[in-house]
Amino acid sequence: MAQVTLERVNELKQTLSDFVLDAEDDLATALETFSAAELSRSQQQDLHKRSLVIDRFLTEGKVGQETPIDQFIAQTTDLTPAEKTLLESWHRAFVGLFEIVTVLDDGFELKNWTTAKSYLVKQPDAKALQAMQRLKVGEIILAQIAPLTATEWIFFSPWTSLGKLGKPKLAVAIGNFKNNYKRHLYSDAPDLLEEAWKSVATYHQHFIDFFGTDEVTRSGYQLSKDFAELQQKISQAQMQASGLDGTKTLAELAAEAGTSEAELAETAESMGLDAKAVEQAMQQKPTTQMAPTQVDLPAHLKQAEEVTVFTHPRWGQTFLTNYKRLDAILQNSTAIAETSSASLIRQLLESDDANPFVWHRLAAKYPQTLEQLIRTSLNRADFNIETDLDSLLGEFHKPLEPELPEIASVPVHLHTLFQDAVMEVSRSKPKTNGKPRNKPQAAALGFRP
């Protein structure tokens, strides 16, 4: 079968885009819904972000059981077999954070930083290729790519250059990418994704073995102590599995890198991390292609009077400070009419922390009282807990299917990048007898050691 030329590829992409943007039926509604959901995930609302969302809808969107590409192929009668095959392959398009490895006449050799996979990517748009000529080897770009052949890919969307990044800034960029494009984190590496999901189920079992249940409510102070002990037990189990004795200390590891233990602790604090977390992370050794994450109570909850923690083999770990209050209200139907109850319901619906797993657990325990409380709180007299809960959660932009939780293990190369970033920042900090006078803003690495 003859290969489709780059010029024709560019025409097909533009025609597909026009087909979707000109639609006025269910396809238009699906695009609007997809765009609203994706744009709500990020504070970035610029033209580039919106263009990328539209291009993602072309390959990821759904109109009932069909995709935009399915509808385009069905309604376009002059497509060749090769063009149909190419269009169908675009369902495999994905967004990545790429490093430029080689500059070519018609594209680039790229490395996807989240999976370490390499790609030969061509630019079908001549004008866009001219604009990309300023890019250099080593630059990091955010782009969506799609298949061209079995071995080649194309740029499928506008791209953004982040420039050349040192390891600390690269670690932050990967964290931001994870927050904005979580479903694309390992989309081109199903083996890594499978291992990450397995680690969530493994952690779930560790949690139950330690606490004896999948739901625990304690003070933030007590939970912080419990989590430290849980982390120690998990680390011991991992070390035994890898054949390590676990006797190497942070001081020894730091000495090998020419850095003192105090300097690493100071660096961890300046990056918004707990020094003990860095110590445990530096001691842990990956037993597979994935490295374990750090188990810890989020810093803002350590002084909380009461925190409820849930664990689930797919949804991961959830923290709520007001769950027991809602649970008590639902046990007492006379409290439903209180104004504070309505406020609590809306607060939990708007919170990212209260995921669908929590809501479905409440619905299973208190179907009638939860239904009545939602009716009263949202002024929806006809709300039905059995048929309307998922649609309500969707209105508040809650994912109805689990996304890879923070507790999931990360690929070894990302784990190593994190360690290198911490060490690099530590070496670059001026030596002081005390804490730095100007503490840097905590860096959101987005993945944990």
Q: For 208-263, what is each residue's pLDDT tens digit?
A: 999 999 999 999 999 999 999 998 888 877 766 655 444 344 445 456 656 665 66
Distance CA 184, CA 97 (A): 10
Strand arrangement, sheet containing 316-320: 215-218, 307-312, 316-320
**How far apart are alpha carbons 341 and 330 in whole angstroms?**
9
Q: Helix (H, G, I), strand (E, B), or coil: what is residue 374?
A: helix
Q: Which of 170, 36, 174, 35 is nearest to 96 (CA)?
A: 174
Chain segment 83-120, per-residue pLDDT in tens: 999 999 999 999 999 999 999 999 999 999 999 999 99
Q: Are strands 140-147 and 152-155 parallel, antiparallel or unpaired?
A: antiparallel
How much is the pTM?
Answer: 0.81
Please provide the CATH number assigned to the domain covering 93-184: 2.40.50.140
Amino acid at 214: D
Dihedral sign, Cα of residue 406, residue 53, residue 193, residue 288: negative
Query: Which of the residues in the chain have pLDDT under 50?
Result: 1, 244-251, 253, 272-275, 277, 286-287, 434-449
> What is the predicted pLDDT for the residue at 432?
53
Nearest to 2 by CA among 80, 64, 61, 63: 80
Residue 278 confidence (pLDDT): 54
Q: Whole-angstrom Cα distance, residue 417 to residue 434?
A: 27
Res 218: pLDDT: 96
User: What is residue 427's predicted lDDT score, i.e. its pLDDT?
Assistant: 74
**What tokens were used for 403?**
């996304």
Strand 215-218, strand 140-147: pairing: unpaired
Give residues with Cβ within 8 angstroms of 257, minimum separation 6: 423
- Give backbone dihedrals phi and psi of 174, rounded to 5 degrees, phi first: -65, -35
Please give the pLDDT value at position 438: 43
pLDDT at 441: 36
Residue spans of the domains in the chain: they are 6-91, 93-184, 190-300+407-428, 316-395
